[in-house]
Amino acid sequence: MFTTRPEILGTFGVVTSTHWLASAAGMAMLERGGNAFDAAVATGFVLQVVEPHLVGPSGEVPAVFYSSKTGKVEVLCGQGTAPKGATIEHYRSEGLSLIPGNGLLATVIPGAFDAWMLLLRDHGTMSLRDVLEPAIYYAEQGHPLLPRVANTIKDLKTFFETEWVTSAAVYLPEGEAPKPRQLFRNPQLAETWKRIIREGEAKGGNREAQIEGARNAFYRGFVAEAIDAFVRKTEAMDQSGARHRGVLTGDDMAAWSASYDAPQTYEYHNFRVNKIRPWGQGPVFLQTLALLKDFDLAAMGPTGAEFIHTVTEAMKLAFADREAYYGDPDFVKVPIETLLSDAYNDERRKLITDQASLELRPGRVDGYELQVERALKALRELSTTDRKVSGGEPTLASMRSARRGDTVHIDVVDRHGNMIAAMPSGGWLQSSPVIPELGFMLNSRAQMFWLEPGLPASLEPGKRPRTTLTPTLAEKDGEPYMVFGSPGGDQQEQWQLLLFLRHAHHGLNLQEAIDLPMSHTAHFPSSFYPREQKPGHLMAEETFGEGVLNDLRSRGHDVEVAPAWTVGRLVAASRDKDGLLHGAATPRLMQAYAVGR
């Protein structure tokens, strides 16, 4: 079939990400002798510069990776936790029933920097100076500003000038919004990174010691001090319509560090799929596979109404369980073994009929009845079904909203067999005011907590928010095979699932599976402020064709037709048993790119 670009093939290395400059930077690390983990770190930091509306230095990054040295698949947890002062009582005293989607009360401990440093120290080979060089170059010398970034800044111009004046100083050079594709610089951010490098190198010693020095500079040194002072002194306007001070402190940062975690896995035909555990939405993907495994998906066309209907209805059930059961396993007991079990899914599968469900239907697990009722009550009282509202990380409908950020994605596979899928996000330019001494903003991931006690995702100090960030690594026939992902908040799992199923069941290569028409549902409550839901909703690109769209309508779906090439931001890479590498990236938004040789 025709594809918008070739599936990249090679044997040396493949890097694919949501921006061509970042992919090229990662490939440069491979060319200089680095491995997949060096390349991922370099790619991640460049994305903070060239996609500042989607990710920033104070954000978070979960990753799932395979190391040929250890022979293990692991998860890197770069999701920061709620500060000590982040209690339900405090937020309620501020007059809030939901945590705003931006501002200083929405922030958790920045997790990405420490996670990248941990990965570089333990699995990389290059120095911090080497992997940060491309990002520093683009921050200092400038990069061509994406039209979407320019438009976001333009729409926020008045707000920055009147409320977030420190952001105006960075993003409105000479008092004006920058034009699309003009060179844009952030010299203060470049200086922050250069100082981190200097302080790390001043510790002396080997590569690992210098990385430890950089971690210390960020979490216990000048970066933490600047963040602490800014949060204490600043009242920032947020989406609640009021100004609030934050609760994040330098002590919170000093007490936290990134960590490694075991993946949550599910055996699906000849694949084993690895996701993050239920401190994020990753197991939704696995639950959906458990529901679908007894359907003959291969007999359904990859763009047919039966296929889209069946997958959508399975996802509705899995996402309903997310609302009722998922939360940080360090704080709540999540019955994930039951949720993935054959017995549970054999019963749940019976709920999938030839008609679209308009209900939110979490499953019933013994001993969790009261929890499920509390969750459904909170959703009834606090979420909205106003179809004019569109919040959280943007899909097509909310791309035009200037006050919401999104996510980026990175996949790397090298000639040694190392592979990593990373999903950096948070700390975007819309999340909170710029900290002048640092050149970057804080994140807004705390909006995923509930201010209702007794729910698995209720706010508690030290707890991880139930993140939507969800990279994927699939093993095939017992060997590491494929890494993939997509930005898009609650839609991440949905677009990834279409890619995976089309590849696994219909034999499409990575680029073919990505290029086919995409769809998703907003049937369940959003993870983002203001927690909207659209029962029965199904967004589908017009390229499915009127026949398929009308068939979906006849099944009861409330179909929202999207223009062609507007839904999803998938990228993917894989490695065959013989060492042949594959890479692919979506043409949608015209910025993602796979490179390799």
- pLDDT tens for each residue of 431-444: 999 999 999 999 99
Share of the chain above pLDDT 70, in %: 97
What is the model's pLDDT at position 477?
A: 97
Residue type, 276: I
Nearest to 433 by CA among 238, 58, 164: 164
pLDDT band at 390 (very low <50, low <70, confident <90, very high): very low
* DSSP assignment string, 177-239: PPPTTSEE--HHHHHHHHHHHHHHHHT-SSHHHHHHHHHHHHHTSHHHHHHHHHHHH--EE-T
CB atoms within 10 A of CB 423: 28
Question: What's the residue count for the chain?
Answer: 597
**532-541: buried (b, 16+ CB within 10 Å) or exposed (e) per residue?**
bbbbbbbbbb
DSSP 3-state of 157: helix
> What whole-number distance in Å separates Cα of residue 280 and Cα of residue 289?
17
Q: For residue 311, what are its two tokens? A: 């997958």
Using CA atoms, how far apart are residues 95 and 89, in angstroms rounded to an integer?
10
Residue 209 pLDDT class (50, 70, 90 cuts): very high
- Beta pairing class for 472-476 and 479-485: antiparallel
Instruction: Quote the pLDDT of residue 432.
Output: 97
Q: Scanning the structure block, which residue is given the tokens 């209805």?
A: 313
Long-range contacts of 24-33 (CB under 8 A, 24+ apart): 24/593, 24/595, 25/134, 25/135, 26/410, 26/412, 26/595, 27/595, 27/596, 28/134, 29/126, 29/130, 29/131, 30/412, 30/414, 32/126, 32/130, 33/125, 33/126
- pLDDT band for 385, please (50, 70, 90 cuts): confident
Task: Say which residues have a Cβ less than 8 Å from residue 416's Cβ, sequence separation at least 6.
Answer: 35, 36, 68
Structure confidence by residue, pLDDT tens digits, 300-359: 999 999 999 999 999 999 999 999 999 999 999 999 999 999 999 999 999 999 999 999
Which residues pair with residue 271 across a beta bridge? 268, 476
Mean pLDDT, the chain, whole residue set: 95
Q: Who contacts 397 (Cβ-Cβ below 8 Å, separation ≥6)?
A: 390, 539, 560
Strand, helix or coil for residue 105: helix
Whether residue 517 is preceded by a cis peptide bond, meaning omega within 30 degrees of 0, is no
Residue identified by tokens 């993870």 is 527
> Both tokens of residue 553?
């309508």
Do the Cβ atoms of 99 and 105 come closer than 8 Å?
A: yes
pLDDT-derived band at 502 (thresholds 50, 70, 90) equals very high
Q: Which domains does the chain have, with CATH numbers?
A: 18-260+408-448 (no CATH), 282-388+491-590 (1.10.246.130)
Question: Whole-prediction pTM value?
Answer: 0.96
Q: Give the containing element (helix H, strand E) for 50.
A: helix 36-50
What whole-number distance in Å separates Cα of residue 326 and Cα of residue 506? 31
396 has pLDDT over 80? no
Mean pLDDT of 446-473: 97
Q: What is the pLDDT of residue 404?
A: 59
Inform me whether the pLDDT recorded for 395 exceeds 50: no
From residue 248, give the alpha-carbon distance in Å to each of 32, 253, 431, 461: 39, 8, 15, 11
CB 570 within 8 A of CB 485: yes
pLDDT at 93 over 70: yes
249: CB partners within 8 A, 6+ apart = 83, 84, 85, 228, 231, 232
Q: What percentage of residues in the chain have a pLDDT greater than 90?
A: 95
Is 253 a residue whose pLDDT tops 90? Answer: yes
Backbone dihedral region for residue 594 (phi beyond 0: left; psi -120 to 50: alpha; all else: beta) = beta
Instruction: Give the pLDDT score at 556.
Output: 98
Distance of CA 367 to the CA centre of its chain: 32
At residue 393, does pLDDT exceed 60? no
* 37-73 per-position pLDDT tens digit: 999 999 999 999 999 999 999 999 999 999 999 999 9
Confidence at 279, pLDDT banded by 50, 70, 90: very high
Q: What is the predicted pLDDT for the residue at 545?
A: 98
- Taking only the tens place, the pLDDT of each residue in 407-422 is 999 999 999 999 999 9
pLDDT over 90 (residue 28): yes
Please check the confidence at residue 501 and state whether its pLDDT lies above 90.
yes
Terminal C-alpha separation, the chain: 23
Question: What's the CA gap between 573 and 499, in Å, rounded?
Answer: 12
> CA-to-CA distance for 126 and 363, rounded, in angstroms?
48
